[in-house]
Amino acid sequence: MTDAEIIDLICEHYAYRGFPGPSIAYLRSLLSAHLAAGSFSVVGSLTLRSPVTFSSLERCFPIPPQLPRTDENYAETEAIFAFAFGYRLKSRVAPDEEARLPGENNRALARISRRLKLLLSVPLFAQFEISDALDDMTEVHADYSTPAEDIGTKKVINHFLEDIDRKEQAKPKKVIVVAHQHHVARCVLILRSDFRIIGIPSVEEYNQYDPREAQPRVRSPEEFIVSDFVSMAAHGPW
Q: What is the pLDDT of residue 101?
A: 83
What pLDDT sits at residue 53?
94
Q: Which residue ranges does the chain devote to CATH 3.40.50?
A: 71-207
So what's the pLDDT on residue 93?
A: 66
Q: How far is CA 16 from the centre of its chain?
A: 15
Per-residue pLDDT of the chain (238 residues; tens, 9 = 90+): 999 999 999 999 999 999 999 999 999 999 999 999 999 999 988 999 889 999 999 999 998 777 667 778 899 999 999 999 998 887 776 676 667 789 999 999 999 999 999 999 899 999 999 999 998 877 789 999 999 888 999 999 999 999 999 999 999 999 999 999 999 999 999 999 999 999 999 999 999 999 999 989 999 999 999 999 999 999 988 8
The pLDDT of residue 97 is: 64
Q: Cα–Cα–Cα angle for 173, 176, 179, nearest 5°?
A: 130
Q: Which has the closest alpha carbon to 156: 118, 130, 117, 182?
A: 130
Work out the burial of residue 147: count CB atoms within 10 Å of its CB; fewer than 13 is exposed, 13-18 middle, 19 or more buried.
exposed
Q: What is the pTM of this model?
A: 0.93
Could you please state the CATH topology (level 3) that the domain comprising 71-207 is classified under. Answer: Rossmann fold (3.40.50)
pLDDT of 199: 95
Q: What angle do CA 221, 209, 145 make, to 5 degrees?
A: 110
Smallest CA-to-CA distance from 113 within 89, 79, 160, 147 is with 79
